[in-house]
Amino acid sequence: MIKDKYQSVKNHLQKIFDVQASIALLNWDQETKMPKGGAQQRARQISTLSGIAHELLTDRAFKSKVRDLNECLDQLNTEESVNINETFKQIERAEKLDTDFVTRRSALVSETYQAWTEARAKKSFSVYQEQLDKLIQLKKEEAERIGYNGHIYDALLEEFEPGMNSAMVDKIFDGVKNHLQPILKKINAQKKPDDSFLFKHFNKDKQWDFGIDLLKNMGYDFNRGRQDISVHPFSTGFGPDDIRVTTRISETNFSSMVWSCIHEGGHALYEQGMLSQNYGLPMGSYISLGIHESQSRLWENHVGRSKAYWEFHYPKVKNVFPEQFDGVSLNDFYAAANRIAPSPIRTEADELHYHFHVLIRFEIEKALLEGSLKTADAESYWNEKYKEYLGLDITDPNSGILQDIHWSLGSFGYFPTYSIGSFYAAQFHAQATKEIDNLEEQATTGDHSKLLTWLQGNIYKHGKRNSAEGLCKELTGEGLNYKYFEAYVQKKYGELYEL
């Protein structure tokens, strides 16, 4: 009886995921291939499928089976228990949002995304403002339906980083301010390394080919993935055997393509590392977006910005672009790749200033949701914060409040996971370095197989078997601890800038 009931629940979960994967595919197409004229009908299609997925998840008969199984977890094995318990939590959250709300939200997200793309084309926040405000009001309604104990923001943050709340995020950013601001002050007093050679002309097609090579070297499986161009780099998946990435290429900024490829490749490796046998189940899904981000940041910064990494790849760079890097040594390139200077673009920010980009978005999101900031004033508030934290004057909204896609997708509560992920990444990489002999030397030969195997065995294949904090304790012996990121920063930038 238990076995049959579990199999029925499993089949139903995979059916739900089939619908969700179809939605993801439509979203991928919308951001990469869809003709502009298809926006309205695409919004309808996504809205319809979102409603169907919600109805399947909140189906009474399905919930009854999940509830029955959740009351006898001791009769299930570990993986089955995780699948049932996590599904029960999903149902409880989903039931607070009826099908009409989910359908309205999906349609509004599609419309807001289109308004965002139009606003970017016209370089005008006002084109986007009204539509964004509608979505913010809907997210407030969503938070109230879900419920929260502290700040309204907590209800939305829970979706992306279970177990985390805004007070905990505030504390994390207090650490960022207290630790990073003094370091940045010291670095900014030093002479900056020359990075002008990264801003020459770089042929788009040659960059594309080089990016593909970087992804293959990481272990990204192109038999189960592909790369495309999008306005905002992202990764998405429809099951572990179809995980896709996108990149953005500038012919006058070599860095843009390189580190977006490595970053999104890190996300994709996590998803490709899920077990196919857990397709559509919590055991085949990521733990949290903080853990997901830890993988992209680990590959992008701890691997992709290391000197050892470029000892192998820089000769290839010089071979592809001999004129642009003529007379530029490996040390010159490494210093430029880790140049610390404020930038208006989050995705192109150095790894220290990056956390102030996240902090600004977190503060704005909280203010918009609690009502202390009006949407009409969001752009001016954004610009004020960039002046306060980064000393930058923002004059172009595309390099300001319009640069990110997240709010147009309704992803309020998402941004803190970027910084959380960076701190997990430092802790995980420190542990990998302890457990894998000669990890840095392996990177100098372009061999990342042992690191990938370590990540697959310790993180990827386990899905939601553990919580984010539980995984961290199991893997490193303690919960998330900022000291690992601090030690990494002190060592790396202490040497680069002779602090």
Retrieve residue 154's tokens: 């907590």
In angstroms, the CA 166 to CA 169 distance is 5
Task: Select which of 158, 264, 293, 469 is catalytic.
Answer: 264
Judge contact between 428 and 485, C-beta under 8 A. no
In angstroms, the CA 86 to CA 13 distance is 11
Q: What pairs with residue 225 in β-bridges?
A: 243
DSSP β-ladder status, 225-229 and 235-237: unpaired
Q: What pairs with residue 244 in β-bridges?
A: 226, 236
The SS3 call for residue 174 is: helix
User: Is 469 one of the annotated active-site residues of the chain?
Assistant: no
Residue type, 148: Y
DSSP β-ladder status, 235-237 and 243-247: antiparallel
Sheet holding 235-237, edge to edge: 225-229, 243-247, 235-237
* Angle at alpha carbon of residue 426, lines to 284 and 410, rounded to 5°: 55
Phi and psi angles of residue 290, each rounded to the nearest 5 degrees, phi first: -65, -45
Residue 292's alpha-carbon distances to 209, 235, 352, in angstroms, are: 26, 11, 19
Task: Give Cβ neighbours of residue 280 (< 8 Å, ≥ 6 apart).
Answer: 13, 14, 15, 16, 17, 18, 239
Cα–chain-centroid distance for residue 436? 26
Active site members? 264
